[in-house]
């Protein structure tokens, strides 16, 4: 599988990664699914301390035992659970980051994290303090590199200008092209890679999907119209979801996509996208002609 450099780092990630959030909490199903992804050539796994209250990190940790050196492991921090309370609170403080990383390392059964990501971010955060925490962890060898997971253009601009982030995780698909106007050009210019999540738009661009609800600012009818146009571009060499994954990979700022999978069938479909030829300029232009160039109206 093709690998791409993540920003200015020494991390070479497969263009198809695995967003592990979707594997569930059953160890007997989740661990073999993650291991099969690795066996089939994926080297980039993304998780978070937030997913299933840390259970997802535990499962990823079990799956990578004996092959840690073959895996580019990414997790996230910033959402703090308070014992006895429902949900979580946002906490990008240095103290919390330095504390939370220890719990992630324990659950992941490793002594270092390849890519540690801030799981959100606002302009009201103590950004310099947050950056200081990640830089300290880098110096200590606890993490190799860091990035942020954000869809907010102004927050992304701040970190691009003030930190040494190597990546931004951003939702990007045919049905969510918001990043194309501001975020992707900025990151491409700065040499910061995009990790594209949601390439299949929560299943709205999956095969044989009966779409019953909207997605972002798309109505059910609008999604059906896009699917109908995409169907004319599907043939025996590529499915609709693979076409969608290739679209997310078509922008030069994108280093990897991380589609999720809760079954072996979905995983194999995702991985096979690596063997599908890249979209041509004409195909990209055609897709953009019949899909919305939606724009960030909030989170600016």
Q: What would the two tokens of residue 104 be?
A: 């992630």
For every residue of the chain, DSSP letters joined together read: --EEE-TTSS-EEESB-EEGGGG-S-HHHHHHHHHHHHHTT--EEE--TTGGGGHHHHHHHHHTTT-GGG-EEEEEE-EE--TTSSS-EE---HHHHHHHHHHHHHHHT-S-EEEEEEE---TTS-HHHHHHHHHHHHHTTSEEEEEEE---HHHHHHHHHHS---EEEEE-BTTB-GGGTTHHHHHHHHT-EEEEE-TTTTTTTSTT----S-BTTB-HHHHHHHHHHHHTT-BTTB-HHHHHHHHHHHSTTEEEE--B-SSHHHHHHHHHGGGSPPPPHHHHHHHHHHS------S--
Active-site choice (51, 146, 159, 172)? 51
Distance CA(20)–CA(258), nearest Å, equals 9
Q: Answer yes or no: 247 catalytic.
A: no
Distance CA(158)–CA(156), nearest Å, equals 5
Distance CA(46)–CA(56), nearest Å, equals 10
Are 60 and 47 a contacting pair, CB within 8 Å? yes
Positions annotated as catalytic residues are: 51
């Amino acid at each position: 599988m093709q690998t791409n450099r993540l920003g200015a780092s020494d991390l070479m990630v497969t263009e198809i990664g695995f967003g592990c959030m979707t594997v569930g909490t059953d160890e007997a199903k989740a661990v073999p699914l993650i291991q099969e992804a690795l066996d089939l050539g994926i080297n980039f796994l993304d998780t978070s301390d937030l997913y299933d209250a840390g259970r997802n990190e535990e499962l990823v940790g079990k799956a990578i035992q004996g092959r840690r050196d073959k895996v580019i492991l990414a997790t996230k921090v910033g959402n703090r659970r308070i014992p006895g309370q429902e949900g979580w609170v946002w906490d990008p403080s240095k103290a919390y980051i330095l504390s939370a990383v220890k719990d992630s390392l324990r659950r992941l059964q490793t002594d270092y994290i390849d890519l540690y990501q801030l799981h959100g971010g606002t302009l009201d955060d103590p950004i310099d303090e947050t950056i200081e925490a990640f830089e300290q962890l880098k110096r200590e060898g606890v993490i190799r590199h860091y990035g942020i997971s954000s869809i907010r253009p102004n927050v992304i601009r701040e970190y691009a200008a003030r930190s040494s982030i190597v990546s931004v995780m951003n939702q990007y698909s045919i049905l969510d092209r918001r990043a194309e106007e501001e975020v992707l050009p900025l990151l491409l210019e700065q040499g910061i890679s995009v990790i594209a999540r949601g390439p299949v738009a929560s299943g709205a661009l999956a095969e044989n999907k009966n779409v019953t609800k909207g997605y972002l600012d798309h109505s059910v009818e609008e999604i059906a119209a896009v699917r109908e146009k995409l169907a004319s571009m599907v043939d025996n060499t590529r499915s609709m979801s693979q076409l969608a994954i290739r679209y997310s990979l078509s922008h030069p700022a994108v280093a990897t996509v991380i589609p999720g999978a809760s079954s072996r069938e979905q995983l194999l479909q995702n991985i096979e996208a690596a063997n599908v030829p890249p979209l041509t300029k004409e195909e990209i232009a055609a897709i953009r002609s019949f899909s919305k160039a939606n724009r960030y109206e909030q989170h600016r």
